[in-house]
Amino acid sequence: MSRNAESTAFRSALEVIRAVEPRVADAIGAELTDQRESLKLIASENYASPATLLAMGNWFSDKYAEGTVGRRFYAGCQNVDTVEALAAEHARELFGAAHAYVQPHSGIDANLVAFWAVLADRVESPALKKAQVRQVNDLTEADWFALRRELGNQRMLGMSLDAGGHLTHGFRPNISGKMFDQRSYGTDPATGLIDYDRVAEAAREFKPLILVGGYSAYPRKVNFRILREIADSVGATFMVDMAHFAGLVAGKVFTGDFDPVPHAHIVTTTTHKSLRGPRGGMVLCQPELADQVDRGCPMVLGGPLPHVMAAKAVALAEARRPDFADYAQRIVDNARALAEGLLSRGATLVTGGTDNHLVLIDVSGYGLTGRQAEQALLDSGIVTNRNSVPQDPNGAWYTSGIRVGTPALTTRGLGTAEMDQTAELIHTVLTQTTAGANADGTPSKAKYTLDAGLADKIARQATDLLATYPLYPGIDLS
């Protein structure tokens, strides 16, 4: 797409929106301005291509399409079939997967599809055996009653939240924690790394139905071959949530033992983050689970979003291009440079560095909580998110960590030299921020003090750093 075409497309779209609700058009324009001027270091965010963005704004949004390709509950879905089939085809080829299901609306939805597919395939309820049914759509009310009773005894073993796991891996605030009897494996207190022997020991003792690999805040590679061997040793289904690092798998930065697709029975992911597509989810699986996975709608999903599936097809096609592999490698190079820049300035990093796209800073060394650090950085034009660190004394709300990632800045073209400059900006803000106190004089985990002039100076420096790497240079909304 030419730059003139990009500008015309988005400018025209905003004119149409403005005629109906100008405040929405203004907010969209303001969001582009904010993203252009801020150092986006949120590890789970990225910038989708203009083609991917435009694929979401069309008439596919008007279609209901429950079911799957060729088996819809609504008529007139032939064009939806085309884009869904294309997205699934690109996913299979990109990841070397036997089967791909591209309907999930998010990573949580993808995980729910995976959980229910495994349960429906593996449940050992006497009532279900007697009924001799294996497909979710065949279950009677009596079967469902028996299944619900059985669910309390289903077990999941996944990475603990403070070690870098995710809420959807069996934690109580999430539905997965209500579906499963969950136990967590952590990391070695001395190194912050996964201790596979301890995972194996926990699996032998707990005997989970599902062993979950994957993370949202673990800055190292994971050996999925070893985890599959552990799962096999206790008869567990091995599931991997690769939402954060799917782009590194697609770009062949993670291969062999570190590529989950050849080793897992079922793999879930988002399609944004490091994969750089639209917000959405996806499930990849072995053939024996394909029928169950394809029943995600209406099993747990509402109607598919055909316009988002169209955008997934575009983004996955982009990820199959040779330049995506270069992009994925630069994500990791930049993350390592950012980590080295922080370490050289005295920051404390969980595991002492990174092998992937993210860096986890323990900000307690600066005398701050994660919440204080997050807001002080935001005041300074640096967008991050607070995150727990292993054995975090401040819990999951205030935290003791800041998670930073490089996918978005790498998309803009920043390189290792700019990562060192970014480390300097982060370190300056954190060293100049002091923890505040509550009204009664007790230490506050939220309040902080940062000189407004310094925050403005850092924000200007961040904007200057980004000036050489314009975001969406082909789009001019003026």
Within this chain, do residues 294 and 336 fall inside the same structural domain, yes or no?
A: no
Q: Is 368 assigned to a binding site?
A: no
Return the CATH number at 85.
3.40.640.10
Residues whose CB is less than 8 angstroms from the CB of residue 78 and which lie 6 or more positions away in sequence, other chains included: none
On the 0-12 / 13-18 / 19+ scale of CB atoms within 10 A, 420 is middle
Please say if 464 is a catalytic residue: no
Distance from C-alpha of 449 to C-alpha of 402, rounded to nearest angstrom = 18
Q: Is 167 assigned to a binding site?
A: yes
**Residue 336 maps to a domain:** yes
**Residue 337 maps to a domain:** yes
| Amino acid in the structure at residue 268 | T
Please say if 447 is a catalytic residue: no
Q: How far apart are the first and last CA of the chain?
A: 19
Within this chain, do residues 366 and 384 fall inside the same structural domain, yes or no?
A: yes
Helix (H) or strand (E) holding 437: strand 434-437
Distance from C-alpha of 130 to C-alpha of 112, rounded to nearest angstrom = 26
pLDDT tens for each residue of the chain, 478 residues long: 555 899 999 999 999 999 999 999 999 999 999 999 999 999 999 999 999 999 999 999 999 999 999 898 899 999 999 999 999 999 999 999 999 999 999 999 999 999 989 888 766 444 445 444 445 556 666 765 566 555 544 788 999 878 777 777 777 677 777 777 888 899 999 999 999 999 999 999 999 989 999 998 999 999 999 999 999 999 999 999 999 999 999 999 999 999 999 999 999 999 999 999 999 999 999 999 999 999 998 888 888 999 999 999 999 999 999 999 999 999 999 999 999 999 999 999 999 999 999 999 999 999 999 999 999 999 999 999 999 999 899 998 999 999 999 999 999 999 999 999 999 999 999 999 999 999 898 999 999 999 999 999 999 999 999 999 999 999 998 8
**Residue 236 maps to a domain:** yes
Q: Which of the following is catalytic: 168, 237, 269, 270?
A: 270
Please say if 273 is a catalytic residue: yes
Domain boundary among 253, 288, 319: 319
Q: Is 166 assigned to a binding site?
A: yes
**Residue 383 maps to a domain:** yes
Q: Which of the following is catalytic: 162, 241, 259, 340?
A: 241
Please say if 327 is a catalytic residue: no
Q: Which of the following is catalytic: 8, 11, 18, 64?
A: 64
Within this chain, do residues 241 and 101 fall inside the same structural domain, yes or no?
A: yes
Q: Is 358 assigned to a binding site?
A: no
Q: Which of the following is catalytic: 40, 72, 273, 295?
A: 273
Return the CATH number at 427.
3.90.1150.10
Task: Supply the range of the domain harboring residue 398.
Answer: 326-467
pTM: 0.90
Cβ atoms within 10 Å, residue 140: 12
8 A C-beta contact, residue 181 and residue 152: yes
What is the number of domains present in the chain?
A: 2
**Residue 29 maps to a domain:** no
Burial string for 259-290 (b: 16+ CB within 10 Å, else e) reads: bbbebbbbbbbbbbbbbbbbbbbbbbbbeebb
Distance from C-alpha of 323 to C-alpha of 440, rounded to nearest angstrom = 57
**Residue 6 maps to a domain:** no
Within this chain, do residues 64 and 166 fall inside the same structural domain, yes or no?
A: yes
Within this chain, do residues 284 and 259 fall inside the same structural domain, yes or no?
A: yes
Please say if 66 is a catalytic residue: yes
8 A C-beta contact, residue 400 and residue 390: no
Distance from C-alpha of 332 to C-alpha of 286, rounded to nearest angstrom = 29
**Residue 27 maps to a domain:** no
Domain boundary among 252, 287, 319: 319
Burial string for 300-322 (b: 16+ CB within 10 Å, else e) reads: bbebbbbbbbbbbbbbbbbbeee
Please say if 270 is a catalytic residue: yes
Which tokens hold the place of 296?
């995600």
Rg (CA), the chain: 23
Domain boundary among 319, 345, 373: 319
8 A C-beta contact, residue 258 and residue 222: yes
Distance from C-alpha of 404 to C-alpha of 397, rounded to nearest angstrom = 17
Distance from C-alpha of 11 to C-alpha of 476, rounded to nearest angstrom = 8
Within this chain, do residues 443 and 296 fall inside the same structural domain, yes or no?
A: no
Within this chain, do residues 107 and 251 fall inside the same structural domain, yes or no?
A: yes
Distance from C-alpha of 50 to C-alpha of 413, rounded to nearest angstrom = 16
DSSP state of 269: E
Within this chain, do residues 364 and 426 fall inside the same structural domain, yes or no?
A: yes
Within this chain, do residues 166 and 253 fall inside the same structural domain, yes or no?
A: yes
Within this chain, do residues 282 and 369 fall inside the same structural domain, yes or no?
A: no
Within this chain, do residues 182 and 132 fall inside the same structural domain, yes or no?
A: yes
